Amino acid sequence: MRFSIYQDSLTGARQVNQDRMGYCFTRDSLLMLVADGMGGHMHGEIAAQIALQAAASTFQAMAQPALDDPAAFLELALRRGHREILRFQQAHRLPESPRTTIVACVVQNGLALWAHAGDSRLYWLRDGKVLARTRDHSKVQNLVDLGLIHPDETERHPDRNKVLNCLGSPCEPTVDIGGPQALRPGDRILICSDGVWGPLSAAELVATITAEPIDSAVPRLVRQAVRAGADLADNATALAMCWEGDNAGAHGVSSALVPDGAITTTIAVGSPGDGELDEDTISDDEIERTISEIREAIARTGGQ
Q: What is the arithmetic mean of pLDDT over 266-279?
A: 47
Q: Is the peptide bond before 259 cis (omega within 30 degrees of 0)?
A: no
Pairwise CA distance, residues 205 & 201, whole Å: 6
Res 139: pLDDT: 77
Residues in the chain: 304
CB atoms within 10 A of CB 61: 18
The SS3 call for residue 27 is coil
Residue 134 per-residue DSSP state: P
User: pLDDT tens digit string along 185-220?
Assistant: 999 999 999 999 999 999 999 999 999 999 999 999
C-alpha span between 86 and 47 (Å, rounded):
9
pTM: 0.85
CATH 3.90.1150.10 fits domain 2-300: no
What average pLDDT is seen over the chain? 86
Domain ranges of the chain: 2-300
Between CA 178 and CA 180 the distance in angstroms is: 7
pLDDT digits (tens, 9 = 90+) for 24-81: 999 999 999 999 999 766 789 999 999 999 999 999 999 999 999 999 999 999 999 9
Longest CA–CA separation in the chain, Å: 56
Identify the three-state secondary structure at position 132: strand
Q: Is the pLDDT of residue 297 over 90?
A: no
Query: What is the C-alpha to C-alpha distance for residues 32 and 190, in angstroms, rounded to an integer?
Result: 10
